[in-house]
Structure 1
Amino acid sequence: MDKASWIRLWNANIPPKLKVFVWQILNRILPTTEALISRKVPVLPRCPVCWESPETMEHLFLECPVARALWDYSGLEYVGEGLARHTFPLFLKRMMALIHQPQLFMAVVAILWRIWRSRNWVVFEGKQFGFPTLLRQFHQQYEEWVRLPVDRVLQSPAPVGGSTRLGDKGGGVVCMWDGAVRPDSHSAGGIVLFSPAREVLMVKGVHFPLLGDPMTVELLVLREAISWCLANGFTNVLFEGDAKVIIDKLNQGDIRDNRVGAVLEEVLQYFRAQLGLTVRFVGRSSNRVAHMVARKALSLYPIMHRGFNYQAWLNSRM
């Protein structure tokens, strides 16, 4: 992703999680079935919505009947007219360069997000939907974004053209992560975000039912930590963890692992994108706080984890 596209995306007045979503599209790391198959994940190759074609980004966002109908109903089918559509990330990048009205860019992103959300309804929840429902949700979402105040992100974006080396200490916030596994193959993770002065900013617990491999759990927690930080507007982040094997693989760019190679590749792309993300190994004693949160998350599942205030709990323990 080039510097101009990154600055244009960062300055857009859309929620941070949508900036991450567009960034994933532009870097071709959105987990469509095509992307998952290329990483040796056993999934059905057809589009889960229409079953007419393989689910590429081009099909999902431009060719699928759901996408075509939503573009037509929204009145935005003219946007990007004349641009080559054989590579969707390039199509979107060129479209972004042509759009000068902030509200038009909001509307385009709202369409893309609604398509992606409707696709995930089918895949993960087995829901059915009608085009009027999607159109209504698109308009509601767009109106909400228009009323947003100008985005005051908590940090300035890292210079896209600067060097970002894995293992550098960095000068922004620190995110510590850790995983925990119990014998019945349930696992959880703890993520704690600290200010440069080591004050707790945010705390999160995550769960992975029926997953018992410690290395896989550690890597998934790290991926969740990265997505969580980016979605909350933090881009200058040092990730600290005690998973030495994983951190060594990331530092060496080694994704040759049958168990976690696909996820390693995805995480490595985040660090190589020059967003300001770095990672380093710390010992268990230094990672104690994240370990406490991971163990707490593990103890709460499956009854009490929803809505639990991890930050208040952690403050009471420190």
Structure 2
Amino acid sequence: MDRASWIRLWNADIPPKLKVFVWQIFNRALPTSEALIAKKVPVHPRCPVCWESAETMEHLFLDCPVARALWGFSGMEHLGEGLPRQTFPLFLKRLLGLIQSPGLFMAIVCLLWRIWRSRNWVVFEGKQFGFPALMRQFHQQYEEWVSLSPAVGARQARSPRVSVGGDSRVVCMWDGATKLGSHSAGGMVLMTPARGIMLVKGYQLQGIDDPMVVELLVLREAIVWCLELGVVDVRLEGDAKVLIDKINRADARSNRVGAVLEEIMYYVNAHPGLDIRFVGRRNNRVAHLVARKALSLYPAMSRYFDFRAWLSSRM
């Protein structure tokens, strides 16, 4: 671990045990199965959480289904796009080096800590866990750490927010794409009020081919993505008129998507700056392009693809 990375870690507004935890990652000192086997400790080589692969740090924090789900649902998976993923310590070092927000720095470390804790529950206590509970624990722990860190809380309070109302609001375009009987994908584009591209995200949904469900899941993902980025005043534009009308009428009566509709309505009520609007397909073209591109990448993992560079080349 180089001196600059160590100084940045030591000065970070995170609990001391988290600093030790990140130091262990940087120095490959976590007792994963791979590390224990290298020290001649007789342990099973498979990941104890998913049993899909050998338990390396790269698998545990990036490729394990639990890790992928946490990165995705936290809205932070886009942060590592384009970074080398061959070794997780190098990936994390470069990722944290790009982060300027103390709150986002803490959120990334908190997410990694949740992954490690869930792994230890299985190994040492034989506990099984549900993913919704894991997400709740991640958010609760992050809020607790922020409350104990006045520096992070103060900086978050002073962080710039987009002004509410009119054309001065940031725009997030979203759209879904479906290959019936197979799989689906979503595309989201965060744009300045002048329609300049800021961030682009494409992702895949496996085992879902109902167009209505796909559109709603993409909208939920877009909302979570914006909130995690700190963009709380945003106009979310999509071309799913039926669903948008249901949301604006607060109508969650649907056997297929009622629960997701209620979750989106909760976000809208909790964050008055969220404005969900219908636009025609022609005006939602950029999000549609990203969704179709993510769909075409199946079965490759779309998170490795630079959607922003690709979209910029098409504009």
TM-score, with normalisation over the residues of structure 2? 0.53
1:128 aligns with 2:138: no
Deviation at 1:308, TM superposition (A): 0.6
Q: Distance in 1 between matches of 2:151 and 2:181?
A: 47
What is the rounded CA distance, in whole Å, between the counterparts of 2:195 and 2:124 in structure 1? Answer: 48
- Structure 1 residue runs of 4+, over 3 Å off? 109-119, 145-154, 168-171
- Answering whether residue 250 of structure 2 is matched by residue 256 of structure 1, we say no
> Does the CA contact (< 8 Å) of 2:162 and 2:169 recur in 1?
no
Aligned-partner Cα distance in 2 for 1:274–1:304: 32
Amino acid at match of 1:229: C
CA deviations on 1:82-140 (whole Å, 9 max, x unpaired) are xxxxxxxxxxxxxxxxxxxxx9x9xxx99997896578x47xxx972448xxxxxx9xx
Higher relative contact order (CA 8 A, sep 6+): 1
Aligned position for 2:173: 176
Q: Per the alignment, in what secondary structure is the counterpart of residue 128 of structure 1?
A: helix
3-state DSSP class of the match of 2:256? coil
1:280 counterpart = 2:268: no
Contact 1:235–1:277 (CA under 8 A) maintained in structure 2: yes
Give 1:185-224 correspondences, 5 Å limit. Answer: 185-224=182-221
Percent identity of paired positions between Structure 1 and Structure 2? 51
Cα offset, 1:155, TM superposition: 1.5
- Asked if structure 1 preserves the Cα contact closer than 8 Å seen for 2:177 and 2:211, the reply is yes
Which residue of structure 2 aligns with residue 291 of structure 1? 288
Which of 137, 153, 162 matches 2:159? Answer: 153
Distance (whole Å) between structure 1 residues aligned to residue 245 and residue 212 of structure 2: 13
Cα distance in 1 between the residues matched to 2:150 and 2:271:
30
The CA deviation string for residues 171-209 of structure 1, in whole angstroms up to 9 with x for no partner, is 320000000000332000000011011100100002110
Structure 1 residue identity aligned to 2:172: C
**Residue number in structure 2 paired with 1:227:** 224
* Distance across 1 between alignment mates of 2:257 and 2:171: 25
Structure 2: which amino acid aligns with 1:128? Answer: V
Ranges in structure 2 where 5+ consecutive residues have no aligned partner: 1-12, 15-48, 50-101, 126-140
SS state of the match for residue 244, structure 2?
helix
The amino acid that maps onto 1:155 is R
The one-character-per-residue Cα deviations of 1:127-157 (angstroms, maximum 9, x if unpaired) are 72448xxxxxx9xxx79x8997944634168
Cα distance, 1:113–1:309 mapped onto 2, change above 3 Å: closer
Instruction: Select the structure that is richer in helix.
Output: 2
Q: Give the whole-Å Cα distance in 1 for the aligned partners of 2:305 and 2:293.
A: 10
Q: Is the 8 A contact 1:235 1:276 kept in 2?
A: yes
Gaps of 5+ in 1: 1-12, 15-48, 50-102, 132-137, 159-167
Shift of 1:306: 3.2
